[in-house]
A = this chain, B = another copy of it.
Amino acid sequence: MDLTWSADEEQFRAEARTWLEAKLAAWRARHDNRILSGDTTEGFAQHLDWERTLFDAGYAAVSWPTEVGGRGASRWEWLIFEEEYYRAGGPQRVTQNGIFLLAPTVFEFGSPEQQAHILPRMASAQDLWCQGWSEPNAGSDLASLSSRAVRDDERGGWVLNGQKTWTTRGAFCTHLFGLFRTDPASERHRGLTYLLVPLDLDGVTVRGFGRLDGDEGFAEVFFEDAFLPDDALPGGVVLGGVGEGWSVAMATTSSERGLTLRSPGRFCATADRLVNLYRERSKDPDALDPGLRDRVVQGWIAAEAYRWQTLQTVTDDAEGRSAGAASSFVKLWWSELDVALHETALDILGAEAELDNVWSKGWQFALSGPIYAGTNEIQRNIAAERVLGLPRK
């Protein structure tokens, strides 16, 4: 066991810290220090500017090979970068659904031509990808989806019909990756294909709608006889083979549920800010409930536990001891931790908690954690059945 960082890693951290501090300040200044939510029209443009700043320095996707727009960083350096990113107060990544959900699948299932085209344009935020999983009648029960793609050999492509919904940032993206039923006779998780779809096709309509906090974070995407030509993207629009959609998607889904989307850096930074908030407010102890200190410390410890657990997981992974279905525990932990950290902050803020601020907005965002990427109820089922071995039926 060695829980220290090497000199090179410390060097990497110092560079990232210096860079982030300078570039974040410059970015904010460019926008008159008035940064809007990345899930609004004006805010999205501000965030694209930030994404391109990250890309120019090779920080958009640190762990990718340099050839496709990354920096070739190790898993450990990725963790370090994330720690520094959130410590510096870096914003939510508006490109994250591409970089953290689609890209791992492209690395695993994409042809060299697909990889060469898709990844650099994704890292540089030229192409902006949203996820087309959920449908009005297929939320937690993903296998029940019904959007369909019919093969048109004559024209050389697919005819898409159906509807996707709860598509995060769909109104601002250029491309969608998602599952479509290509075998009309199939049921459940068979006969699906993973397709890559430019959103500017004729017959595709995107309608943004408000998330809980009013930000236009969601979209409905309607497909009405939209024709998707095979050459819409170099290397083709099918990822991983026709009819193979479910297993290809599950690889992405397990990325979503696993480590990549939610590095401990984000929660440790939130916990540190919570500690600071408490320290500030406890100068007037009468105003604070005495039980709050315990809750603050509890949150800080839980974030720290998440960090230790991640270091263990990354080590295990590097040494070939895979965590497998255990990623369900990870999703449960961070999503409930995030709610607890924000709820504690709101209780510290008292009446002020009602006003929009980083904590109240963050609380609303945190409430989505136990819902998306497989509800926590489903995660508990998975954990009990696949890890503990309890009987399914």
Binding site for B on A (CB under 8 A): 289-291, 293-294
Contact = CB atoms under 8 A, between A and B. Distances in A.
Closest 8 CB pairs of A and B: A291-B291, A290-B290, A291-B294, A290-B291, A289-B294, A290-B293, A290-B294, A291-B293
A186 to B, nearest CB: 27
A289 B290 CA distance: 9
Nearest to A294: B291
A301 to B, nearest CB: 15
A291 B289 CA distance: 9
Contacts of A294: 289-291
Contacts of A293: 290-291
Contacts of A291: 290-291, 293-294
A288 to B, nearest CB: 10
A354 B108 CA distance: 55
Given A290-B291, A290-B294, 6 more contacts: A289-B294, A290-B290, A290-B293, A291-B291, A291-B293, A291-B294
A290 B293 CA distance: 9
Secondary structure type dominating chain A contacts: loop
A149 to B, nearest CB: 34
Contacts of A290: 290-291, 293-294
A181 to B, nearest CB: 28
A293 B290 CA distance: 9
A289 B289 CA distance: 13
A348 B291 CA distance: 14
A145 B377 CA distance: 32
Contacts of A289: 294
A247 B293 CA distance: 53
A298 to B, nearest CB: 10
A49 B273 CA distance: 63
A294 B290 CA distance: 8
8 contacts: A289-B294, A290-B290, A290-B291, A290-B293, A290-B294, A291-B291, A291-B293, A291-B294
A112 B25 CA distance: 89
A290 B295 CA distance: 11
A136 B289 CA distance: 49
Nearest to A290: B290
A196 B290 CA distance: 56
A294 B289 CA distance: 9
A6 B166 CA distance: 61
A289 B291 CA distance: 9
Among the interface residues A289, A291, A293, A294, which one has the most CB atoms of the partner chain B within 10 A?
A: A291
A87 to B, nearest CB: 29
A136 B266 CA distance: 51
A103 B10 CA distance: 76
A114 to B, nearest CB: 46
Nearest to A293: B290
A299 to B, nearest CB: 14
Nearest to A298: B291
A318 B124 CA distance: 74
A289 B292 CA distance: 11
A348 to B, nearest CB: 14
Nearest to A292: B291
A294 B293 CA distance: 13
Nearest to A289: B294
